[in-house]
Amino acid sequence: MYTRDRTEEQVLIMRAQRGEQDAFRALVERYQAQVYTLARRMVSSPQDAEDVAQEAFLNAWRGLPRFRMDAKFSTWLYRLTVNAASDLLRRRQRTQETPLDDEDSALQLPDPAPGPEEQAQQRQRRAALQQGINALSENHRKILLLRVVSDLDYAQIGEILELSPGTVKSRLARARIELRKILRQQGNYFSDTSSNQEKGGGTP
Amino acid sequence: MRECTEYWELISAALDGALTSEEERQLEAHLATCPDCRALLEELRAAEADLAAPIAPPSGFADGLMARVATAEQEIPFTDLPQDRAPKQAARSRMKQWWKPVGTVAALAACFLLILGVGRIVNLSGVWRSNSTAGQSEPAAANTADTAPESAAAVAEEQESRESKADLPLPEEAPAAAEPIAPGNMKDAEPMDGAPAEDAVVESAASSSDAAEEPWLYLDGVLYFPTETEVMHLDNGYQLAGTLPEEAASDPALSGLEYYTDPQDPSQLYLLIDGRYQLWKTE
């Protein structure tokens, strides 16, 4: 059924390559959540994330005729997303614009059955987590998000970031250690899961 | 006993499900004696589960996007797929016409002048549909039009860092400026996706009544049927190496373009066009 799905998607891609907007829209609907989530994690503010996701899809539309069928469409899209996010972050840095506040964690897809209190708590923790992600270096952020959010393997990540799978593996380890250290320093994220592990000895 | 830091990479790989059984055993042994590393693994696992939760795009995202798409031009338009046998034959004989008499580099020069002359690099990227392992024994004979397979046209295969280029403004850039990626490397870089992806079958795209098993190449809006040798090349990817044939090196029309010949088969000339290595069969 995997093959079947591929085939369906590839028909959409081929049609979109020929300029059929309906087919492209179907592809957008298929991938918008993944692309938006990745963008959102990369740039944090909802407005920026929407811009980034739109830019990524727009670039996909423009570049589709050059898309090669033996590549994976999703991987390509994530690459465009990461690139658009990097562009935006660079622009922000140059112009010293401050991104809008991360105010709408409410847009998170609802979890199965959380009570209101638990929900608030979870929102808080997720905000803390996003702050931790924001504090990562851009390289660490990219690699970790491609792995965890986009669920790509080392080789696919390596293709996007132009790194060998071995480098991906070791950089991922460093990114994770950095994230955990940041989250521990912030102190808001791990407090309820492992308050008994105050020091978290392995951290640098 | 080893330092905890030496286990960090294993802990990270464990989160990715990328441990060998030996590594798994090592890590288990360490975790059994090290609460700190256990905490590290657990905390990261929790954090990543939270991180992976999808966030819904704002409502109307697709509508807003499609409004922009409607006015955004694609880089290069594709023409329609041929719908039946006739255009395929036409395509093939057209290519013969092109290539047979001129044969070698002169044809390439002519082709390039044509391509460059219109002020825009024509899209030569193709969609390669192989029947995988069966590709090597493709039933070329079943193709009634297949009078002279070895002269059956130019076949281009793209191997390029297309994805990374896709967000560049336009394809008008000088061809030689683009960086190629050797196809072998691309495949190596994609073990999860590599082989099966070749098998990408788009049944509805090809008129499959009489050629369901036949590998094809959708190139520049035209469907081609590569020869057996070409199928082999396309299936394996090209090894790019070698030097220019003399007659090509001296041709001013080709100066500035990068090209290679296959050491295994010097009659195969590869050109770097628009960031892609493309095979031009010169025989």
ipTM for the whole complex: 0.82
Distance from CA of A92 to the nearest CA of B (A): 19
Q: What is the pLDDT of residues B94-132, one digit of tens each?
A: 333 333 333 334 444 434 433 332 222 222 344 555 554
Residue B84 has pLDDT above 70, yes or no: no
CB A175 within 8 A of CB A193: no
Q: Which of B96, B104, B80 is nearest to B146 (CA)?
A: B96
Q: Which residue did the predictor score with more confidence, B197 or A122?
A: A122
- In this structure, the answer to whether residues B120 and B219 fall within a common structural domain is yes
A1-94 and A117-193 share one CATH topology? Answer: no
Q: Which residue did the predictor score with more confidence, A79 or A63?
A: A79
What average pLDDT does range B33-43 have in this prediction?
95
Kindly report the CATH class assigned to A117-193.
mainly alpha
Q: Which of A156, A158, A200 is nearest to A179 (CA)?
A: A200
- In this structure, the answer to whether residues B42 and B93 fall within a common structural domain is no
Residue A189 has pLDDT above 90, yes or no: no
Q: Is B198 a member of any domain?
A: yes
Q: Is B58 a member of any domain?
A: no
Residue span of the structural domain in which B183 resides: 85-281
Contact list, B57 vs chain A (CB under 8 Å): 32-33, 35-36, 50, 53
* Degrees, nearest 5: CA angle A105-A107-A112: 100
Residue A69's contacts (CB-CB under 8 Å, 6 or more residues apart) are: A10, A13, A14, B127, B128, B129, B197, B200, B202
Q: Do A183 and B43 touch (CB under 8 A)?
A: yes
Distance from CA of B172 to the nearest CA of A (A): 13
What's the pLDDT at B232? 52
Q: Is B21 a member of any domain?
A: yes
Q: Do A59 and B42 touch (CB under 8 A)?
A: no
Q: Is B70 a member of any domain?
A: no
Secondary structure letter of residue B104 according to DSSP: S
Q: Is B149 a member of any domain?
A: yes
- In this structure, the answer to whether residues B31 and B163 fall within a common structural domain is no
- In this structure, the answer to whether residues B48 and B99 fall within a common structural domain is no
**Unique residue bearing structure tokens 């990068």:** B258
Q: Is B8 a member of any domain?
A: yes
Q: Do A193 and B125 touch (CB under 8 A)?
A: no
Distance from CA of A99 to the nearest CA of B (A): 18
Q: Do B162 and A71 touch (CB under 8 A)?
A: yes
- In this structure, the answer to whether residues B8 and B148 fall within a common structural domain is no
Helix (H, G, I), strand (E, B) or coil at A188: coil
Helix (H, G, I), strand (E, B) or coil at B205: coil
Which candidate from A34, A65, A107 shows the least CB-CB separation from B78? A65
Contact list, B37 vs chain A (CB under 8 Å): 202
What's the pLDDT at A180? 95
Q: Is B73 a member of any domain?
A: no
Total domain count for chain B? Answer: 2
Q: Do A61 and B74 touch (CB under 8 A)?
A: yes
Extract the tokens encoding B83. 């719908």
Least confidently predicted of A24-38, A94-108, A160-174, B59-73? A94-108
How many CB pairs lie under 8 A apart between chains A and B? 250
Least confidently predicted of A32-46, A172-186, B100-114? B100-114
Integer Cα distance of A77 and A71 in angstroms: 11
Q: Which sequence spans correspond to the domains of chain A?
A: 1-94, 117-193
CB A140 within 8 A of CB A178: yes
- In this structure, the answer to whether residues B136 and B28 fall within a common structural domain is no
Q: Do A129 and B193 touch (CB under 8 A)?
A: no
Contact list, A134 vs chain B (CB under 8 Å): none
- In this structure, the answer to whether residues B115 and B13 fall within a common structural domain is no
Q: Do B193 and A71 touch (CB under 8 A)?
A: yes
Distance from CA of B59 to the nearest CA of A (A): 10
- In this structure, the answer to whether residues B138 and B234 fall within a common structural domain is yes
Residue A95 has pLDDT above 60, yes or no: yes
Integer Cα distance of A23 and B152 in angstroms: 33
Kindly report the CATH class assigned to A1-94.
mainly alpha
- In this structure, the answer to whether residues B90 and B29 fall within a common structural domain is no
**Unique residue bearing structure tokens 């979890």:** A111
From B189, which residue of chain A is nearest by alpha-carbon distance? Answer: A155
- In this structure, the answer to whether residues B25 and B98 fall within a common structural domain is no
Integer Cα distance of A203 and B4 in angstroms: 9
Q: Do A66 and B57 touch (CB under 8 A)?
A: no
Q: Is B10 a member of any domain?
A: yes
B219: left (phi over 0), alpha (psi -120 to 50) or beta: beta
| Residues above pLDDT 70, as percent of chain A | 80
CB A44 within 8 A of CB A99: yes
Q: Do A148 and B198 touch (CB under 8 A)?
A: no
Q: Which range has the top average pLDDT, A145-159, B92-106, B170-184?
A: A145-159
- In this structure, the answer to whether residues B13 and B96 fall within a common structural domain is no
Q: Do A79 and B163 touch (CB under 8 A)?
A: yes
Give the ranges where chain B is alpha helix by DSSP (H). Answer: 8-15, 21-33, 35-52, 61-71, 85-99, 105-117, 162-165, 183-188, 194-198, 228-236, 246-249
Q: What is the pLDDT of residues B122-152, one digit of tens each?
A: 223 445 555 543 333 333 333 333 333 333 3
Q: What is the pLDDT of residues B233-280, one digit of tens each?
A: 555 443 222 334 455 555 544 444 445 555 455 555 555 444 444 554
Contact list, A159 vs chain B (CB under 8 Å): 163, 186, 189-190
Distance from CA of B218 to the nearest CA of A (A): 10
From B199, which residue of chain A is nearest by alpha-carbon distance? Answer: A70
Q: Do B43 and A71 touch (CB under 8 A)?
A: no
Contact list, A111 vs chain B (CB under 8 Å): 53
- In this structure, the answer to whether residues B150 and B231 fall within a common structural domain is yes
